[in-house]
Amino acid sequence: MNILNQRFNTQYNTAPFTKIKTEDFLPAFIASIDKTKAEIDTIVNNSEDPNFSNTIEALEYSGEELDRISSIFFNLNSAETNDEIQKIAQEVSPLLSDFSNDITLNEDLFKRVKSVYDNKSNLNLSTEQATLLDKKYKGFSRNGANLSDDKKIKLRAIDKELSQLKLKFGEHILAETNKFEMHLTDENDLSGLPDGAKEAAKQLAESKNKDGWLITLDYPSYIPFMTYADRRELREDLSRAFGSKGFHNDELDNQEIVLKIANLRFQRAQLLGYKTHAHFVLEERMAETPETVNTFLNELLDKAKPAALAEFNNLEKFAKELDGIDQLQKWDSAYYSEKLKQKLFDLDDEKLKPYFKLENVIDGAFLVANKLFGLQFEEINTIDKYHKDVLTYKVTDADGEMVSIFYADFFPRSGKRNGAWMTSYKTQMIKNENNERPHVSIVCNFTKPTKSKPSLLTFNEVTTLFHEFGHALHGMLANTTYPSLSGTSVYWDFVELPSQVLENWCYEKESLELFAKHYETGEVIPMEYIEKIKASATFHEGMQTLRQISFGLLDMSWHGIDPSDIKVVKAHELKAFEDTKLYPDVIENCMSTSFAHIFQGGYSSGYYSYKWAEVLDADAFEYFKEEGIFNKTVAEKFKTFVLSQGGTENPMVLYKKFRGKEPEPEALLRRAGLIKKS
């Protein structure tokens, strides 16, 4: 029997990565789809009248094996992919799309679900059960169950094509990232680069049997070069390469794919009776409507734009005084921002990095989780890994009870997409009175160790680690009955609250002193550095906020309208960026063609949620600050009402249970320095 089509005979039921062959996946998917279809048939053919148990719960617990296989496969496709896996993904995605539609368009199954839904007032359901019933019913009604047969056929065709296009979009970006190399043989070209970045570039060149130094589009290579390299023309070359991914009119071009995805999403929404894709998506978000999102972004724009313009003019003036630069370009942004920051705060990443050895930062995140939630992390080496760099931990609570298995994967490689994300290999649920604990993973792309130095993180990488670890805690501490409501299965404009709120501990003396210790001397980070980190926290906040708003507006410009008149991706993008533009446009660059969040991931019509969740996180952290950042009472409330509850209740209800009131948007503006603190 295929290893994937059985309960894994492993410690903690973890995925047996080293025993799984790539060729196992396709037959495993096919067998598991057939098995789940049989489970659905059992529900449909049940001679008893439909009730919550034999229909809603039975449907919820069906397909458990298929979900497990999917999580393993698609996580590998993001973190450790190859040509073979990508080929299987292209074969499997339409199968899964068809299968999903087989369920949501199954009239007999929908009749049973609707029967239970129509009788819900007589069922005496718990809050979680009522939420599950509502979610199951909407899963059908929002995805075509009420459509005529001819429209159901159209929906199936759209969903199948979308599943393949999204995969192809991501494959192109990964291929573009891997394809580009800046090969430098003159050490003068590395002027300004820190020693660690030089050493990493040399090591990368050696690994590919080349002399000199290699700079790539992977973040740990790209970011230091753009921040420190004195050679402006080389920064320009690198910036143009980074900004033109998927925009070369070649076999890896994404322009046609972007247009197709936007139009198919619109057609799908129209089929289902919605004005636009954004109207469809936002019905199931805290924001509820595109109008609310646009109002939110534009109100934030009004507050941020004056500050952003002032910061930009000041930066341009600084660059002119320093180097005679008349017109700041995008490839100047990080470089002169870093120089100005050093001048204003006498602080830069090279001073801070020795205090942020990766292993110490990991331990710091664990210590924060221990002080807040009583969690213990024990590294174990008895669990199978999908790559040798992956770290594995057993997580227990204060009573020694198993909470979660935790995987951490920190360094870039050719089979891994850029960026950072949290995911899971096994979902938490309570089934047959057994609380199945989750297997959670975070994946990042941090600076690798070199021959002479361990992995030393920039401060931005430190906050990224805490951000993803916040998502991980949301997954680990899940404690719900139903898997589809567990952990991070929440509204997408609420899911960023746990991740973004945890970043705040990176700026606090009480927290930093736990782990920010010099990798050679063990000296705790000096108080003056902590004060400078705090002081510089709002440096260029106006420009950063404007940047995030621009991405949110671009997202809404694709998904909040009828896109059928859009013929030129770049022209559309320029129009969307009009109100947020600071730097001159680079004609060869296009963001949409590599905007994986909205065209490959799940953030379409949802990119605004980063800023939306910042309102929640700033307000939530003010509560911690008022009572003490490690206050057990506040932490317990956050765990009880936010981290453990998943999507069992409306997120604003959960937030108010934690905070005692609705969030105040002013908390974000105060923290960002965009309004004065009272």
- Dihedral of the alpha carbons of 97, 102, 105, 111, in degrees to the nearest 10: -140
Q: Is the pLDDT of residue 469 over 60?
A: yes
Q: How confident is the model at residue 488 (pLDDT cuts 50, 70, 90)?
A: very high
Q: How confident is the model at residue 193 (pLDDT cuts 50, 70, 90)?
A: very high
Q: Which amino acid is at 51?
A: N
Q: Is the pTM of this model over 0.85?
A: yes
- Note the pLDDT of residue 7: 86
Contact 572, 542 (CB under 8 A): no
Does 206 lie in the same domain as 79?
no
Cα–Cα distance for residue pair 133/154, rounded to 1 Å: 27
- The verdict on residue 630 lying in a domain is no
Contacting residues for 236 by C-beta, under 8 A, at least 6 apart = 329, 331
Does 505 lie in the same domain as 394?
yes
Cα angle: 122, vertex 125, 129; to 5 degrees: 135
- pLDDT per residue over 547-566, tens digit each? 999 999 999 999 999 999 99
Does 92 lie in the same domain as 25?
yes
- pLDDT per residue over 106-132, tens digit each? 999 999 999 999 999 999 999 999 999
Q: Is 468 considered catalytic here?
A: yes
Does 193 lie in the same domain as 132?
no
Q: Where a domain ends, among 487, 504, 538?
A: 538
Does 65 lie in the same domain as 14?
yes
- pLDDT per residue over 370-404, tens digit each? 999 999 999 999 999 999 999 999 999 999 999 99
Does 195 lie in the same domain as 109?
no
Distances in whole angstroms, Cα of residue 360 to Cα of each of 2, 473, 515: 41, 18, 6
Six token digits for residue 642:
């936010």
Please name which of 184, 183, 191, 185 lies closest in space to residue 231, comparing C-alpha atoms.
191
Q: How confident is the model at residue 677 (pLDDT cuts 50, 70, 90)?
A: low
Does 124 lie in the same domain as 79?
yes
**What phi and psi values does residue 4 have, to the nearest 5 degrees?**
-80, -15
Q: What is the CATH number of the domain that holds 142?
A: 1.20.1050.40
Q: Is the pLDDT of residue 678 over 70?
A: no
Does 11 lie in the same domain as 130?
yes
DSSP 332: G
- The verdict on residue 579 lying in a domain is no
Contact 435, 469 (CB under 8 A): no
Domain holding 209, by residue range, is 181-236
Does 458 lie in the same domain as 412?
yes
Does 195 lie in the same domain as 87?
no
- How many domains, the chain? 3
Cα–Cα distance for residue pair 601/591, rounded to 1 Å: 15
Span 275-303, mean pLDDT?
96
- Note the pLDDT of residue 664: 86
Q: What is the CATH number of the domain that holds 430?
A: 1.10.1370.40
- pLDDT per residue over 124-178, tens digit each? 999 999 999 999 999 999 999 999 999 999 999 999 999 999 999 999 999 999 9
- The verdict on residue 39 lying in a domain is yes
- The verdict on residue 556 lying in a domain is no
- Arithmetic mean of pLDDT over the chain: 96
Cα–Cα distance for residue pair 504/617, rounded to 1 Å: 9
- The verdict on residue 153 lying in a domain is no
Per the residue annotation, which of 65, 176, 461, 468 is the catalytic one? 468
Does 117 lie in the same domain as 59?
yes
- Note the pLDDT of residue 667: 86
Please name which of 198, 294, 263 lies closest in space to residue 549, comparing C-alpha atoms.
294
Percentage of the chain with pLDDT > 70? 100
Q: Considering Cα of 255, then 256, then 259, then 264, what sign does the dihedral take?
A: negative
Span 77-93, mean pLDDT?
96
Q: Is the pLDDT of residue 411 over 90?
A: yes
| Side-chain-facing half-sphere of 118: CA atoms under 13 Å | 7
Does 190 lie in the same domain as 110?
no
379-384 long-range contacts, Cβ below 8 Å, gap at least 24?
382/11, 383/10, 383/11, 383/12, 383/14, 384/10, 384/14, 384/15, 384/16, 384/17, 384/18, 384/19
Six token digits for residue 257:
């794919």
